[in-house]
Structure 1
Amino acid sequence: MKPAKPPVVTCPTCGAAVPWTAESKWKPFCSERCKLIDLGQWATEKYRVPAEEQEPEDGPPQSQ
């Protein structure tokens, strides 16, 4: 019986195929460069996670 092929994912930055193995050091990215490009996008707020605005609660703030 042959060992199963590891799953392959797509690098979110450049689209290269990346095998999902222990040897793929930067997974899901293909390289450190692609990982840092993605991190930079988050740091400059080009990527954002949508959030709902919350109404402030009435009453005095609680101390802990």
Structure 2
Amino acid sequence: MGGDKDDAGRPAGKPCPICGKPPAEKYKPFCSSRCADVDLHRWLSGAYAIPATEDDDEDGEEPSLAPLVPRER
């Protein structure tokens, strides 16, 4: 039936992103708690980063967070 936990006949899907082994159901998408912890450490240490470009204003000053035009009450 559908409650089967036997993964032998099913494709494993994507491999563990850390070591390349098949993922374990308990730790998906990782194969073990060790690989999950390695990934967490990489995130917390800043090893994973999204590159960003800085937009420089023409006058070189930081943009203000205050509204440009005061609101009337």
Provide TM-score, normalisation by structure 2. 0.57
Residues 1:15 and 1:36: Cα distance change in structure 2 (over 3 Å): same
Instruction: Write the distance in 2 (CA, Å) between the matches of 1:25 and 1:38.
Output: 16
Q: Can you give the 5+ residue segments of structure 1 that lack an aligned partner in the other structure?
A: none
Q: TM-score, normalised by structure 1?
A: 0.63
Comparing both structures, which one devotes a greater share of its residues to strand? 1
Aligned residue pairs total: 54
Letter matched to residue 5 of structure 1? R
Identity score, percent:
37
Query: Could you say which structure has the greater relative contact order, defined with CA pairs below 8 angstroms and 6 or more residues apart?
Result: 1
* SS at 1:29 equivalent: coil
